[in-house]
């Protein structure tokens, strides 16, 4: 786990005690510092005293609902919120996004997907203050320069579009992580993923082709069937 993420505090708002404790345990294992809240009222009390870096928010809460918490929070703070909901219909999701949710997962959900979404939100919202912070990312013979938007493949410059650059940057930032098409779309296109994965597939295909043109014998991006994509590190 990146050292930056080890300092993160995450507020887990879930009234199911077993699930709340399970989520906190999983987050602790990943290096986070979670705090559990078991009602909307308790969550708002905590938020009045300490603002975490991210909130995992259940909707069906005793006292004030998750929607109440979200509305109150958005009046004063922009901290990222991942909503847990039992309803996955488009109307509910659109309402949540309009209220200020940054992402959502429908129950039951996969723990690894939740962790991936947390990482996406934290990367999207973290600010690098140090002028000496590393501005390049390397993977095998790929080098990505964040400042200049240049990508070198075996020393040759790749002519990537803005979206292709952002897509490659996402994958290279965590080369062992499998990113779902949902993760990729919502990070690169900064919008809600509504199930149409053709955009992601097309850009992955174009990116692969451009990298292959410069290094024909190498394969950099691996498809994990039924899940998504990652950098190929099994060479």
Percent of residues, the chain, with pLDDT higher than 70: 89
What tokens were used for 207?
Answer: 């990116």
Residue 131 located in a structural domain: no
- From 103, 125, 147, give the residue that closes a domain: 125
Co-location of 142 and 223 in the same domain:
yes
- 132 pLDDT band, cuts 50/70/90, is very low
Tell me 231's DSSP state: E
Q: Is residue 31 a part of any domain in this protein?
A: yes
- Are 30 and 119 part of one and the same domain? yes
Q: How many domains does the chain have?
A: 2
Tens digit of pLDDT for each residue in 17-49?
A: 999 999 999 999 988 899 999 999 999 988 888
Q: What is the pLDDT of residues 178-230, one digit of tens each?
A: 888 888 888 888 777 766 678 899 999 999 999 999 999 899 999 988 888 99
pLDDT at residue 123, rounded to an integer? 79
For 24-33, the CB contacts below 8 A with 24+ separation are 26/111, 26/115, 27/118, 30/1, 30/5, 30/115, 31/1, 31/5, 31/6, 32/5, 32/6, 32/8, 32/118, 33/7, 33/8, 33/9
Domain check: are 71 and 104 in the same one?
yes
Q: pLDDT-based confidence at 72, cuts 50/70/90?
A: confident
**Nearest Cα to Cα of residue 168 among 129, 214, 132:** 214
> Is 12 domain-assigned?
yes
Give the CATH number of the domain where residue 164 resides. 1.10.10.10
Global confidence as pTM: 0.53
Residues with Cβ within 8 Å of residue 216, at least 6 apart in sequence:
none
Residues 99 and 212 in one domain: no
DSSP code of 110?
A: -
Question: Do 7 and 121 reside in the same domain of the chain?
Answer: yes
Domain region containing 191: 136-231
| Res. 12 pLDDT band, cuts 50 70 90 | very high
pLDDT at residue number 129: 36
- Mean pLDDT, range 52-74, rounded to an integer: 89
- Per-residue pLDDT, averaged over 51-69, amounts to 90
Q: What is the CATH number of the domain that holds 42?
A: 3.40.50.2300
């Amino acid at each position: 786990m990146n050292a930056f993420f080890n300092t993160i505090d995450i507020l887990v708002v879930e009234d199911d005690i077993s699930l709340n404790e399970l989520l906190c345990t999983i987050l602790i294992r990943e290096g986070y510092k979670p705090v559990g809240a078991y009602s909307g009222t308790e969550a708002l009390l905590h938020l009045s005293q300490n603002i975490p870096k991210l909130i995992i928010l259940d909707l069906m809460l005793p006292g004030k609902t998750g929607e109440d918490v979200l509305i109150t929070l958005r009046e004063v703070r922009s901290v990222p919120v991942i909503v847990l909901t039992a309803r996955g219909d488009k109307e509910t999701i659109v309402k949540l996004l309009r209220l200020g949710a940054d992402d959502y997962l429908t129950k039951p959900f996969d723990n690894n997907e939740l962790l991936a979404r947390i990482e996406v939100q934290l990367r999207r919202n973290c600010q690098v203050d140090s002028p000496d912070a590393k501005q390049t990312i390397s993977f095998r013979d790929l080098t990505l320069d964040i400042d200049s938007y240049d990508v070198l493949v075996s020393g040759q410059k790749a002519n990537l579009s803005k979206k292709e650059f952002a897509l490659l940057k996402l994958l290279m930032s965590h080369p062992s992580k499998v990113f779902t098409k949902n993760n990729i779309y919502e990070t690169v296109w900064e919008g809600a993923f509504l199930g149409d994965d053709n955009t992601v597939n097309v850009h992955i295909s174009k990116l692969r082709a451009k990298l292959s043109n410069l290094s024909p014998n190498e394969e950099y991006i691996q498809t994990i069937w039924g899940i998504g994509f990652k950098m190929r590190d099994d060479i």
